[in-house]
Amino acid sequence: MESLQALEARVAAQRDLLPAMYGKVDFSVTPERFAGTPDIPSTIRGEKGEAARRRFLADPETVARARAYTMLGDNVADAYAALMPQYGFRKLVDMLTRACDEGVEAVAEAPAELVGFIRAMEATPDWIDMSLIEEGARYSRNATANVAPFVVRGAFVATFLNKYSALPMALTGTLSHETAVRRIKETAAFFTTTALPGALTRFGPGFKAAAMVRLMHSMVRFNVLRGATTWDVAVYGIPVPQVDQMPAGTIAVFLLAFKLMRQGRAAFTPRERAFVEFNRYRCWLLGLPEDLLPATPDGIQQAMSVYSGTLRDGYDDATCGALVRATMAGYFPADRRLRSRLFDGLERSFARVFFNRAFLSGDTSGKAALMGVALRPYDRLVFVALGLYVYGRQGLYKLALRLPLMRDIADRRLIARIDRLLIGYGHAEYTTDASKYRGAGFEGKRQPAE
């Protein structure tokens, strides 16, 4: 684990190493978004959560680490993204694509920043157990194929509940229905792709997708810090810090860890361990450091608690509510056939209930109505009926995957279903119209974005 001194030095060094991106950032400032003392309201909820928060806030090193990660970008991807004025967006994407597909040696006159980016992704640390990655991907395919298509919308909008972490999405034009749908499909395509056999190997599609996502995030930082007038570092810190990527990347293992701790278990089973390692490696490829990717149930819950307990609570309907409404209103299917429209209506109802139950605690505060996602009379009925089908199907596959004579057949069917899902999600462009960065003063060039 990196020492606190080394971490803080790495954060401060961003300004000198990448002045084009971070030259105007004062890294000695603690941004308003950071809830580092008990008197500042955070996003953590419940009496147990508040008790845990008081405990870790009493530890100066834990607080200092959390603050540092709030101000940490992705040094290798940021360095490559900062070449945008020199090479242009399309050239950067083309070089990265070829480096992922054929190796960085195949890129003529590859800049040192591209070499450093690829080499960093190739240098798998010894704290990740590579022998378990493929087994973990296999374990994940059931939920990826059968459950994810119905919960991805509800899980995605959960990232918009806090104005401090949601603002980069608003700045990249995600307030429109069309853009919101593209963002969800890109996110779903990434996580779905990584579940395929061999996807996370060096020349697998998951490795390439992770590289593109990292470039996308770095271009958000570059564009926003370079010119977006609505961005105030003293309030929001830096855009898309590494720590903000942890909840989406580790939500599945957090729910698993939480389930284990409720059951009184302190360790994962071998199959669960493989699933955890698969998720850790996927997140590591996205640039997350070891500190944010613990391997034990207790460590995972602690990491999520520290994140929630140091993110200041804040809701702005012009940002958060608009993002939620745009996402919930988006039409997902690729066509307008009757079957597709029926799926869209059912999935949307399912997503409303899932979102309310999982992230709004049943909407006791009335926030769902404010956002425009309050439950309609028939939503719960759809959720129950569709849930019986979705989770029943998942259960049948779970049983089949445990039977020697059925295991491989069931896995092949799941892979085929994942392939069909990816066709429906379409080609992930990982781009946005930079002219929509509010107040940024750009001239409409298409660039990667969140």
pLDDT digits (tens, 9 = 90+) for 331-383: 888 888 999 999 999 999 998 998 888 777 765 457 778 788 888 889 999 99
- Whether residue 181 contacts residue 187, with contact meaning beta carbons closer than 8 Å, is answered with no
Angstrom distances, CA of residue 381 to CA of 225, 341, 346: 46, 18, 10
Would you call 126 exposed, middle or buried from its count of C-beta atoms within 10 A (0-12, 13-18, 19+)? exposed
Q: What SS3 class is residue 151?
A: helix
Q: What tokens were used for 30?
A: 């603690």
Which among 326, 320, 385 is positioned nearest to 150, based on CA atoms?
A: 385
Mean pLDDT by 10 residues, the chain (450 residues): 92 94 92 95 90 95 96 96 93 96 95 98 94 95 94 83 84 66 86 95 95 93 79 91 89 90 91 96 95 94 94 89 85 88 92 85 68 88 95 96 94 96 74 42 36
Q: What SS3 class is residue 83?
A: coil
Give the per-residue pLDDT at 450: 37
DSSP per-residue string spanning 303-334? HHHHHHHHBBP---IIIIIHHHHHHHH---SS
- CA 267, CA 150: separation in Å to the nearest integer? 29
Identity at 155, one-letter amino acid code: A
- Whether residue 33 contacts residue 312, with contact meaning beta carbons closer than 8 Å, is answered with yes
Radius of gyration of the chain (CA): 21
Give the per-residue pLDDT at 402: 93
Buried b (16+ CB within 10 A) or exposed e, 6-41: ebbeebeebeeebebbbeebebeeebbbbbbeeeee
User: Which residues does 8 contact at the CB level (< 8 Å), separation at least 6?
Assistant: 64, 68
Which among 158, 147, 150 is positioned nearest to 359, based on CA atoms?
A: 158
First-to-last C-alpha distance (Å) of the chain? 29
Q: What SS3 class is residue 433?
A: strand
- CA 252, CA 262: separation in Å to the nearest integer? 16
Q: Which residue in the block uniquely carries the two structure tokens 């049943």?
A: 362
Give the per-residue pLDDT at 365: 55
User: Which residues does 294 contact at the CB level (< 8 Å), separation at least 6?
Assistant: 300, 302, 303
Q: What tokens were used for 68?
A: 């540092």
Give the per-residue pLDDT at 18: 94
Q: What tokens were used for 96?
A: 């990265």
